[in-house]
């Protein structure tokens, strides 16, 4: 049974045609995987369905009833729920309070029946086949539990169509499997689901149908049997990708650029030792909490070690602040690009120039917009940021282009060592390959690169060596013929 039909939906922003006469249908009990590169129009399309954006033209038809536009209230009343990447949860409320929130709010009572709150939460969790501690503060629970609570809350609203926008981006692998199981369970109950993800292997696990967008236009609709990941990548980007790239060679006889000896920090990591040569890309794998990010923060001066030694280009360091680390030629691209990497409302050129503020000054030590613009335009070209102008706010960019801005910001500082913490999480395959190419160019220039990633294929494709971390210790090293996805996966399974 057809649930939703979009006819000729179009939306234009200044300088950008976000949607161009898009047609789409979805039926009850169907999982439609919406695929497209960053900036393809996926988010705009979902916002039009959820009432967050008003289409310039076209119609939204819900079970035969036509709308020129939907308001958020209308969308919810029809049974359309959207779960964004940020989840929109209340971290200071309990699990039960989060799940029952909309039901309690709609009752307009002057008091709360707490036993009813628990009953509503238990019923929704049972529908998902999930179990969470009802009275635990949601913000204290892992991201997988928060995701489950957000889905359960949607079920309390008599949800008919659930839109999931990058739901697995921040999830560890064990929680991804649980989430996909929930999707199958909801589908079996007749719910329609629009699933958006850049992780193509996940899409093939659950898709009944693929819908591909590129530059705001419908490219086509496909059954899973008609596609491979390579074919889908091409349809999304228009670029042929070859997955046979191997890590480039470096001078193994060169003196190490960075030497870390017996580094320790209480309750985080212990006796960590490794080296990094010019032109080498070294990877770190491990489960969340294994200590890999904590080591990166130590090198960047945000998490000083209790003991051990760090030597950069023959000189011993003990960075106590990011300013000191940057001054010594170490840069960090954080996993949290929104919270730690960008000034979202500031211009792209301002973000890029922020790492070299002194070079942006003009007469009398004041900020020179002309110099800032020159720096921004130079790096926008170098890393191929897709934008009409460097003066646009960085929050107007797609996720992949935002990540390129973060990279540009640190590359402008000319670092000797670049640390990348999950550099391609939540971005499309096209931007991911472009970022990999930028990293390879850096290594070719003789810089050292440390890459932390949950994507084992990314580590194998990019790195000369990969260290596996477990409970704060380096437990294995992989290189050459031993560096395979299968070998890394096997080690991770043992760790879990």
Q: Do domains 2-237 and 258-495 have the same CATH topology?
A: yes
What sign results for the dihedral spanned by CA atoms 98, 99, 103, 109?
negative
Q: Say what the pLDDT of residue 361 is.
A: 63
Q: Say what the pLDDT of residue 360 is.
A: 64
Q: Say what the pLDDT of residue 64 is.
A: 93
Instruction: Quickly name the fold that domain 2-237 has.
Output: Rossmann fold (3.40.50)
Q: Which helix (H) or strand (E) holds 315?
A: strand 315-317
Q: What is the pLDDT of residues 267-299, one digit of tens each?
A: 999 999 999 999 999 999 998 789 999 999 999
Q: pTM for the full model?
A: 0.71
Residue 294 CA from chain centroid, whole number = 19
Q: What is the pLDDT of residues 76-102, one digit of tens each?
A: 999 999 987 767 788 899 999 999 998
- DSSP secondary structure of 91-136: TTSBHHHHHHHHHHHHHT-SS--HHHHHHHHHHHHHHHT----TTS
Please classify residue 67 by burial: count the beta carbons closer than 10 Å to its beta carbon, then call 0-12 exposed, 13-18 middle and 19+ buried.
middle
Region at 329 (left for phi over 0; alpha for psi -120 to 50; beta for the rest): left
pLDDT of residue 242 exceeding 70, the answer is no
CATH number of 258-495: 3.40.50.300
The fraction of the chain above a pLDDT of 90, given in percent, is 54
Q: How far, in Å, CA of 104 to CA of 99, rounded?
A: 10
Domain spans in the chain, listed from the N-terminal domain onward: 2-237, 258-495
């Amino acid at each position: 049974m057809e649930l939703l039909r979009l006819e000729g939906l179009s939306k234009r922003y200044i300088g950008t045609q976000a949607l161009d006469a898009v047609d789409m249908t979805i039926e009850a009990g169907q999982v439609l995987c919406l695929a497209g590169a960053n900036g393809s129009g996926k988010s705009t399309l979902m916002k039009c369905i959820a009432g967050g954006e008003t289409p310039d033209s076209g119609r939204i038809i819900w079970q035969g009833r036509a709308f020129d536009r939907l308001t958020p209230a209308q969308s919810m009343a029809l049974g359309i729920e959207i779960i964004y990447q940020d989840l929109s949860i209340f971290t200071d409320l309990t699990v039960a309070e989060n799940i029952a929130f909309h039901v309690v709010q709609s009752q307009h009572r002057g008091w709360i029946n707490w036993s009813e709150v628990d009953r509503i939460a238990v019923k929704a969790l049972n529908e998902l086949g999930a179990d969470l501690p009802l009275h635990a503060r949601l913000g204290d629970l892992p991201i997988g539990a928060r995701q489950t609570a957000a889905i359960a809350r949607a079920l309390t609203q008599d949800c008919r169509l659930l839109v999931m926008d990058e739901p697995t981006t921040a999830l560890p692998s064990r929680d991804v499997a649980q989430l996909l199981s929930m999707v199958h369970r909801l589908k079996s109950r007749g719910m329609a689901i629009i699933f958006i993800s850049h992780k193509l292997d996940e899409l093939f696990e659950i898709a009944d149908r693929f819908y591909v967008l590129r530059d705001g236009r419908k490219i086509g609709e496909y059954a899973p049997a008609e596609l491979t990941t390579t074919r889908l990548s091409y349809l999304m980007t228009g670029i042929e990708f070859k997955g046979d790239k191997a890590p480039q060679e470096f001078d193994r006889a060169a003196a190490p650029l960075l030497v870390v000896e017996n580094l320790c920090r209480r309750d985080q990591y212990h006796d960590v030792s490794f080296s990094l040569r010019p032109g080498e890309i070294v990877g770190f794998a491990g489960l969340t909490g294994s200590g890999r990010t904590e080591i990166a923060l130590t090198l960047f001066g945000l998490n000083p070690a209790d003991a051990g030694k760090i030597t950069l280009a023959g000189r011993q360091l003990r960075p106590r602040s990011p300013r000191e680390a940057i001054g010594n030629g170490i840069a960090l691209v954080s996993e949290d690009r929104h919270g730690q990497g960008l000034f979202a409302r500031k211009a792209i050129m301002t973000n890029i120039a922020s790492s070299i503020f002194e070079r942006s000054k003009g007469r009398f030590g004041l900020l020179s917009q002309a110099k800032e613009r020159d720096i921004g335009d130079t790096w926008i070209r170098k890393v191929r940021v897709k934008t009409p102008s460097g003066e646009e706010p960085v929050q107007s960019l797609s996720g992949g282009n935002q990540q390129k801005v973060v990279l540009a910001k640190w590359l402008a500082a000319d670092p000797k060592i670049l640390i990348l913490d999950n550099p391609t999480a939540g971005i499309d395959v096209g931007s991911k390959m472009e970022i990999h190419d930028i990293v390879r160019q850096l290594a070719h220039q003789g810089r050292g690169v440390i890459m932390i990633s949950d994507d084992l294929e990314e580590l194998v494709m990019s790195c000369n060596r990969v260290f596996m971390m477990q409970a704060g210790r380096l437990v294995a090293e992989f290189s050459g013929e031993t560096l395979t996805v299968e070998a890394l996966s096997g080690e991770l399974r043992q760790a879990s």
